Chains A and B, each alone.
Chain A
Amino acid sequence: MDIQEYIASGILELYVAGSLSDKENEEVYEMLLKYPELLTEVQKIEGTVSTLTSSVAPLEKQPSFKNLLIKIIQDKETNPKVIPIDRDRRNWITYTGWAASIVVGSALLLSQINKSSLSEELRETSAKNQQFQEKLKETTNSLETNKTLLAAIRDKNVISIPLQGQKVSPDSYAKVYWNKSTEKIYVDVQGLPDPPKGKVYQLWSLKLNPLTPTSLGTLDNFTADATKIFSITNPNESQAFGITLEPEGGSESPTLEQLYTIGVVES
């Protein structure tokens, strides 16, 4: 293969333009791996096209990357997934089947209840009543906790930062509520899986340029905590927050391979 001839043919210019067929693209790719000279040539062509395309950009002010991230996150929130609407007819048959069996089942149940003795019913009812009382007490307690939390995150000085799932756990998510005036953050980790035994989640405050992590502590008793909201003091000028999975007791610096979620603070 005569490299100079290959270059002179003009195929690399079309490769950069994207005008070649899939097959030709793969052939060029193989050539680039074999001959570094060709890669250099492609990079130069790219440079020329890049100068050309950017020269016609009406660039007044480039929107910040943070804006783009926010747009991406908002888009995910409004269109979480496309659900196909063309359900076929079979579903109707299934539903009708279910409806019929529910009707028959309820009729059977009614006749059962009629047969059971009154005293037994009474005993059951009072036992249930007891259970309800206890449940009510629990609920009232957790309602109080929730009210306190809600009041804290609804404060007008609070900003919220969504943290997106990363490679190790793409479906994970979390949310940080940050009150800069009280230097308090509430992190909602409902969207994280229970950590494996011997591991613990650790929250980090990040500065982006250069990337400097500061530990905000570990989220202990993760599995036992019902609200999955942790409150932590944060005196840092954080630009982003991240959550990693670390050995029990936490780590000095984050294990980036175990980065579960990260989110950038809107300035």
Chain B
Amino acid sequence: MELEQLLKKFKEKDALAFEQLYEMYYKNILGVVFNIVRDNDVAEEVTQDVFMKAWNNADSYNAKKGRFFTWMLNIARNAAIDKTRSKEFNKKSKNLDAEIFVDILQDNVSLDNRTDAIGIKAFVNKLADTCKKLIDLLYFKGYTQKEASESLEIPIGTVKTRNRNCLSNLRTMIE
């Protein structure tokens, strides 16, 4: 089924359409959440919450405001960040601020035998450090252009073009 058709049904609270979207996006959402919370069980729990929120707010999704994928990423990042600020989570008190997604790829523990991850790791390693950080901030952490430019101390106009170059490099390697 076409994505557009699927989303229409999802907005009408069609459970079968929702199931397809769940299958399509589960891994993405889990990846984004895990990068923020860095705990397998917590990540799984938050990911379920993300889909629950998506279902409960299905009628508020509006294609004019952005892609469904982007909408889901947003819910995921917010839910994961909320989790890291919760009391129960803070007991584990880890300093997660400095960690970026690349660390997960380097730390092979949970990614053993994952051919897709091994491939990506090789590609990501070839990226410049700014690229790794920029991709982490924009896609995994949900920074705005301005926030990313301040965090990386690069001009705001450069964020757009630099990010395009970083992602294009990766895309050429993946394709």
Contact = CB atoms under 8 A, between A and B. Distances in A.
Interface of A: 8-11, 13-20, 22, 25-26, 29, 42, 44-46, 48-60, 62-63, 65, 67-69, 71-72, 75, 164, 166-167, 170, 208, 211, 262, 264
Given A15-B67, A48-B167, A54 B116 contact: yes
Interface in B111-157: 111, 114, 116-117, 120-121, 124, 135, 138-140, 142-145, 148
Contact of B117 (A29, A50, A55): A55
Contacts, number: 156
Which interface residue of A68, A164, A170, A262 has the most chain B CB atoms within 10 A? Answer: A68
Q: Which 7 pairs of residues, A with B, have the shortest CB-CB distance?
A: A10-B164, A54-B27, A57-B31, A10-B160, A58-B110, A55-B120, A57-B30
A264 B148 CA distance: 44
Which size bracket describes the interface of B in this complex?
Answer: 35 or more
Interface of B (DSSP majority class): helix
Interface of B: 12-16, 18-19, 22-23, 26-32, 34-35, 40, 43-44, 48, 51-52, 55-56, 63-67, 69-71, 73-74, 101, 104-105, 110-111, 114, 116-117, 120-121, 124, 135, 138-140, 142-145, 148, 159-164, 167, 170-171, 174
A46 B69 contact: yes
Contacts of A18: 66, 70-71, 73-74, 142
Contact of B34 (A13, A57, A65): A57
A19 B145 contact: yes
Contact of B70 (A16, A55, A58): A16
A19 B63 contact: no
Given A50-B69, A56-B101, A57-B27, 20 more contacts: A8-B164, A10-B161, A13-B167, A14-B145, A15-B70, A16-B69, A19-B138, A20-B145, A25-B65, A29-B63, A46-B67, A51-B116, A52-B101, A54-B27, A56-B35, A57-B34, A58-B43, A59-B27, A69-B15, A262-B15
Nearest to A240: B15
23 contacts: A14-B163, A16-B67, A17-B138, A18-B74, A19-B142, A19-B143, A20-B145, A25-B64, A29-B65, A44-B171, A45-B171, A52-B31, A52-B120, A53-B27, A53-B28, A54-B116, A55-B121, A56-B111, A58-B40, A65-B19, A72-B52, A72-B56, A164-B15
